[in-house]
Structure 1
Amino acid sequence: MDKRSGLVLDVVGLANKDATSIALNAGDVDMIVTDWIWTSRQRHAGADFTFVPYSEAAGSVMVHPNSGIERLEDLRGKVIGVAGSPIDKSWLLLRAYSFKTIGEDLGKITRPAYAAPPLLNEKFKQGEFDAVLNYWNYTARLRAAGMTELIKVQDLLPALGVPGRLPLIGYVFSESWAEKNVEAVTAFFKASADARAIMIESDEEWERLRPLTRAKDDATLAALRNGYREGVPQTYGHEQEEAIRAAFRIVAEHGGRALVGRNIELAPGTLWGGEAY
């Protein structure tokens, strides 16, 4: 897709999310995938980074079959594994949702355990956790393994006053760089859209990509495929910006300065004003 769009794409492999952020700030790469929280914080600090939604795929709270856990209230006193840290945005949204719907903060009535996504899945399957909140691709693997979904992160949003679907991650780049490289940026987003269309429409392409997914069986591949497709954004613009703005206020309230810094409102320009889809 990149060659067809006349684009020379140099993919730089880096160790983790922090390394990609450092590389973008240092000018070693032109674009990374990260979230709107980081982008807004950088803009408030004077940078001109901007965000284009890439995926609405979100995780879920998963429980063991026959665990007797059917509602959030049933998690009281239970150990719940959480991907990332206490300020992971999905965890903050879940805590806000529990306070809104059952009048109690899930972070206070459960025993949260924070760990990396692969470790969470393993410990959950070994029975060390009663429930787990993991990223969508790890949730898909648990679903394929027969675990039960208690609630999806995207399903929390209406009760929290977040309109529509919420993009979780996106492409982030410098506005000034984009203005100087209009053809390259246009070609990139065209190639990205074309690639997503193939991933949505072609099961055969998923078979070709099976080794990259590390799916050990057909059920896992199907779960990953369906989760990816469900998370592809269908619109770009005002509706997404309103969803991000509303969600930002919620996570800022619950995550505080450790997450968003001193500014509790989304920085102007966080969502790119150019044409992306």
Structure 2
Amino acid sequence: MLFRIAWFIFVLVAFGPAFAQESQPIRVGVLRFGTVAWEIDTLRHEGLDRKHGIALVPVELASNEAAKVALQAGAVDMIVTDWPWVARQRSEGASFSFIPYSKAVGVLMISQDSGIKSLADLKGLRIGVAGGPLDKSWLLLRAYAQKEFDIDPVETMEPVFGAPPLLNEELERGRIDAVLTYWHYAARLEAEGARPLLTVEDMIHRLGMGGDVPMLGYAFRDDWAQHEQAALQGFVAASREAKMLLASSGEAWTRLAPQIGTDDPAVLASLRAGFRAGIPEHWGDAQRKACADLYAILASIGGERLVGKARVLDPKTFWPFVSY
């Protein structure tokens, strides 16, 4: 990672004047196999950054934790993460803000021939969970199960925490009975015959949250955004154009196939459908209010380990100058 950062600094020094004359550079931390890389690649390929007066510079990072460290260290200007993390940073004195990227987070998948019909049928069974015990999708599943069925999956099921590719394989081999995983891994499972039982979006709605509640978004420092307001607005416009293109164009997904790691039409179609379903349609006061309500639920389940000492969501978690 240090080598990549050093190389990036060299590029800025060597070509800084050209950037300054033509467009404002924005360093975006991406994971090689993450969905953000698909959006950023499409955006740059179509020249949408130049159209809006910016020059996106992707900085490849090894993991979500590495991305957070890079943002905190100032090695990148933006990363994609969830707004509860941004809220916790603010509660600890760091001034980060959030704008939406996607409302697609997780899906609870079961095998094609499974007899499971509802969450209650998973009592006593093994459920794979991508991430750890504080994964937001897992906490929301617990909250939903407690409200709807008066059960806590921690006590009534056997959770198996692990990496998404491993859990996909475990489900395919019948070693677990269901898997709660990130949407793009769920899309691959569905293309191979598995079935969705419940989405995180379903859980959020059934917990009483109305409208879009995007969990994932671009996080950045407040001081950077205040200094680069025009560049940030240009990025928002370019990002939304890239999303519309990925939602409507099969050719865009065919071009991305080598990066995604498959040219299987069924998998690409499933990924495209999942990406399209995750595009936030609206972002305003109603959605911010829903996030605050959801934060209270997450805080009650995850406790201080998740949210720190802040039991109420800081409204400044969300950058106030972006709405649609």
Aligned to 2:203: 156
Give the SS at the match of 1:163: coil
Aligned residues: 277
* 1:248 counterpart (290, 295, 309): 295
Structure 2 match to 1:215: 262
CA–CA separation in structure 2 for the residues paired with 1:63 and 1:230 = 20
Report the equivalent of 1:105: 152
Deviations 1:162-208 (A, max 9, x none): 12122120001112211111221122112111111211221221111
Contact conserved, 2:254 with 2:263, CA < 8 A, in 1?
Answer: no
**225, 230, 233: which one aligns with 1:186:** 233
After superposition, where does 1:8-87 map in structure 2 within 5 Å?
8-87=55-134
Asked if the contact 2:104–2:277 (Cα under 8 Å) also holds between the matched residues in 1, the reply is yes
Q: Which runs of 5+ in 2 are unaligned?
A: 1-47
| 1:54 partner letter | Y
Q: Is the counterpart of residue 268 in structure 1 residue 321 in structure 2?
A: no
Please report the TM-score for the alignment, with normalisation by the length of structure 1.
0.96
**How far apart, CA to CA, are the structure 2 residues paired with 1:6 and 1:156?**
39
Residue 67 of structure 1, CA deviation: 2.0
Aligned residue for 1:236?
A: 283
Amino acid in structure 2 at the alignment position of 1:62:
M
RMSD: 1.3
The residue aligned with 2:247 is: 200
Q: Tell me which stretches of 4 or more aligned residues in structure 1 moved more than 3 Å.
A: none
2:182 is the alignment partner of 1:135: yes
Q: Helix, strand or coil: the match of 2:159?
A: strand
> Deviation string for 1:193-237 (max 9, x for gaps)?
111121122122111112222234111110000000000011111
Equivalent pair of 2:212/2:282 in contact (CA under 8 Å): no
- How far did 1:6 drift? 2.1
Q: What is the distance in 2 between the residues matched to 1:21 and 1:53?
A: 17
Q: 8 Å contact 2:86–2:219 — kept in the other structure?
A: yes
- 1:142-172 residue CA offsets vs partner (Å, 9 max, x unmatched): 1111011111111112331212122120001
Counterpart amino acid of residue 172 in structure 1: A
Query: SS state of the match for residue 67, structure 2?
Result: helix
**What CA distance in whole angstroms lies between the structure 1 residues aligned with 2:263 and 2:229?**
41
Aligned pair in 2 of structure 1 residues 166, 177: CA closer, same or farther (>3 Å)? same
Distance 1:216 1:8, change over 3 A: closer
1:41, 1:267 within 8 Å by CA — same for their partners in 2?
A: no
Alignment partners' CA distance in 2, 1:211 and 1:276? 34
User: TM-score normalised to the size of structure 2?
Assistant: 0.83
Distance 2:55 2:105 in 1: 30
Whichever residue aligns with residue 65 of structure 1, its letter is: Q
Q: 1:255 offset after TM fit, Å?
A: 0.8
3-state SS in 1 of match to 2:289:
helix
The answer to which structure has the higher helix fraction is 2
| Conserved? CA contact 2:100–2:218, under 8 Å | yes
Contact 2:103 2:215 in 1 (8 A): yes
Contact kept, 8 Å, 1:140 with 1:227, in 2: the verdict is: yes
SS for the counterpart of 1:166 is coil
Inter-partner Cα distance in structure 1 for 2:231 and 2:69: 22
Of all paired residues, the percent bearing the same amino acid is 46
Counterpart residue number, 2:50: 3
Answer whether contact 1:249 1:264 (CA < 8 A) is retained. yes
Q: Residues 46-72 of structure 1: CA distance to partner in whole angstroms, max 9, x if unpaired?
A: 121100010011221111122211111
User: Structure 1 CA distance, aligned partners of 2:253 and 2:205?
Assistant: 32
**Which secondary structure does the structure 2 equivalent of 1:227 belong to?**
helix
- Choose 166-175 or 179-188, whichever is displaced more: 179-188
Find 1:117's aligned residue among 161, 164, 172: 164
